[in-house]
């Protein structure tokens, strides 16, 4: 029998074709090797698998359901739209899928502390939650600018017992937070472990985080059969680093007849600085320790990026997405700010589900695709998170539409 895609990718050095790998300072080689070996051991250990199953079922709220978006489907016309409800995870997004597993790994390695960076604070909140549950210390690095902007998530992290360390150099946002977190980790590799928040970073993180998120796709494949007694025709998910997308893709990647769409944010326009559509406008390059397709400025440095969804404005993308796009297995869908906000309100008013602005990009794309497909076709959307965190921003910037129709 042929091996499944997930068993063969990435290769032993963490490459998906030419993308991925590990480009790190010598001082980090040993600790990353330690993480890689621990994961190789753990992934086949029945105790690890049982521990993860237990927390997912009894704490996190899995399996999350698939909902048929009947009213949205009628509104759009054409293909039926289904939603995989990652918004119903504890803490409101898919991120806990990998954070719980990363913290179990940290415990297995005898570490006392988890360290990470966060942009909008979503990864920081999920990691602080997992650390609280498993009794580890948690240190989250965050740009000073983001600390001011994302006040509620900063408070959440502190209430959950995490220490929030401000990154005060440069632009004081995500990139500086990554630098600052790496420095803290370098100084304490003995007692601490770095926990990356998406399918990015040096090997083994893109593989590990994908494997931890693959539960989304494995559940979805079975649940979709309950609804339709067949596979979906299209699977779509928003892509920042790409972890919720790789999670749902994992369930369908060997089913060649299922079209996979990673949806990128087109923001306010197609000029550099107006969007963060890395796969669409980027070129090959190394950033944050891995080779992928990234947006560069004229000097070849990471370009400034923008999206209304603060969890998806990243100038590079997980290496596996670069590989799947180049190999033709996945396609790229696009959704801009206005389309995402329209999807945010439509899903709220037609289905009673307030989506995260990130997730609204995948919904917005599905709303554009559905009318071009016949009524017997189906689109499965990864609804990566709930939108409570975004309500003040949306209401202050985009008035509530008067009528749904």
Ligand X SMILES: *Cc1c(COP(=O)(O)O)cnc(C)c1O
Options 86, 102, 117, 320, the catalytic residue: 117
Identified binder of ligand X from the candidate list 64, 89, 118, 122, rule CB under 6 A: 122
Options 80, 84, 95, 172, the catalytic residue: 95
Q: How far is the CB of 347 from ligand X (least distance, A)?
A: 13
Range 377-396, binding ligand X (CB under 6 A): 384-385
**Phi, psi (5° rounding) for residue 221?**
-60, -45
Sequence-distant (6+) residues with CB within 8 A of 62 are 56, 89, 215, 219
Range 212-271, binding ligand X (CB under 6 A): 238-244
Q: Closest residue (Cβ) to ligand X?
A: 385
| 222 carries an active-site annotation | no
| 47 carries an active-site annotation | no
Stretch that binds ligand X, among 180-188, 285-293, 356-364, 396-404 (CB under 6 A): 356-364
**Residue written as tokens 């071009």?**
372
Q: How far is CA 16 from CA 6, 22, 26, 216, 255, in A?
A: 11, 12, 23, 21, 19
Considering the complex, state which of residue 245 and residue 258 has its C-beta at the smaller distance from ligand X: 245
Sequence-distant (6+) residues with CB within 8 A of 226 are 66
| 384 carries an active-site annotation | yes
Number of H helices, E strands in the chain: 17, 14
Choose among 217, 234, 240: nearest CA to 292.
240
Identified binder of ligand X from the candidate list 359, 360, 369, 394, rule CB under 6 A: 359
Using the rule CB under 6 A, is 22 a contact of ligand X? Answer: no
Using the rule CB under 6 A, is 95 a contact of ligand X? Answer: yes
Using the rule CB under 6 A, is 358 a contact of ligand X? Answer: yes
> CA–CA separation, 316 vs 335, rounded Å?
17
Q: How far apart are the first and last CA of the chain?
A: 52
Helices (H), 160-234: 174-186, 205-213, 215-228
Q: How far is the CB of 146 from ligand X (least distance, A)?
A: 13
| The total number of residues written for the chain in this structure | 405
Per CB under 6 A, residues contacting ligand X are 93, 95, 122, 198, 238-244, 311-312, 356, 358-359, 384-385
| Active-site residue set | 95, 117, 384
């Amino acid at each position: 029998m042929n091996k499944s895609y997930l068993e063969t990718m990435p290769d032993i050095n963490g490459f998906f074709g030419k993308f991925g790998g590990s480009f790190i300072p010598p001082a980090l080689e040993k600790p990353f090797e330690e993480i890689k070996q621990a994961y190789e051991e753990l992934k086949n250990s029945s105790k690890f698998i049982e521990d993860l199953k237990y927390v997912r079922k009894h704490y996190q709220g899995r399996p999350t359901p698939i909902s048929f978006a009947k009213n949205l489907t009628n509104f759009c016309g054409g293909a039926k739209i289904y939603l995989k409800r990652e918004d119903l995870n504890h803490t409101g997004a898919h991120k806990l899928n990998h954070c719980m597993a990363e913290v179990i790994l940290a415990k297995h390695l005898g570490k006392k502390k988890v360290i990470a960076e966060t942009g909008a604070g979503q990864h920081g909140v999920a990691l602080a939650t997992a650390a609280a549950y498993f009794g580890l210390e948690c240190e989250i690095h965050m740009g000073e600018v983001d600390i001011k902007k994302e006040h509620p998530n900063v408070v959440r992290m502190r209430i959950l017992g995490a220490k929030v360390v401000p990154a005060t150099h440069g632009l004081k946002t995500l990139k500086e937070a990554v630098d600052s977190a790496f420095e803290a980790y370098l100084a304490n590799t003995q007692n601490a472990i770095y926990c990356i928040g998406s399918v990015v970073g040096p090997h083994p993180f893109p593989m590990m985080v994908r494997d931890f998120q693959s539960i989304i796709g494995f559940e979805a494949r079975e649940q979709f059969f309950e609804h339709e007694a067949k596979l979906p025709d299209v699977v779509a998910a928003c892509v920042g680093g790409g972890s919720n997308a790789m999670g749902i893709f994992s369930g369908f990647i060997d089913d060649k007849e299922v079209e996979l769409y990673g949806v990128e944010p087109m923001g306010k326009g197609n000029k550099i600085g107006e969007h963060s559509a890395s796969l669409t406008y980027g070129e090959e390059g190394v950033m944050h320790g891995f080779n992928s397709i990234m947006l560069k400025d004229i000097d070849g440095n990471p370009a400034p990026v923008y999206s209304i969804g603060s969890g998806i404005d990243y100038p590079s993308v997980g290496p596996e997405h670069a590989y799947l796009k180049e190999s033709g297995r996945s396609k790229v869908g696009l959704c801009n700010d206005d389309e995402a906000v329209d999807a945010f309100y439509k899903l709220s008013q037609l289905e009673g589900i307030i989506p995260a602005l990130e997730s609204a990009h995948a919904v917005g794309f599905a709303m554009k695709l559905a009318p071009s497909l016949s009524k017997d076709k189906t689109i499965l959307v990864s609804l990566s998170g709930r939108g409570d965190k975004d309500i003040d921003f949306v209401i202050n910037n985009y008035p509530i539409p008067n009528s749904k129709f």
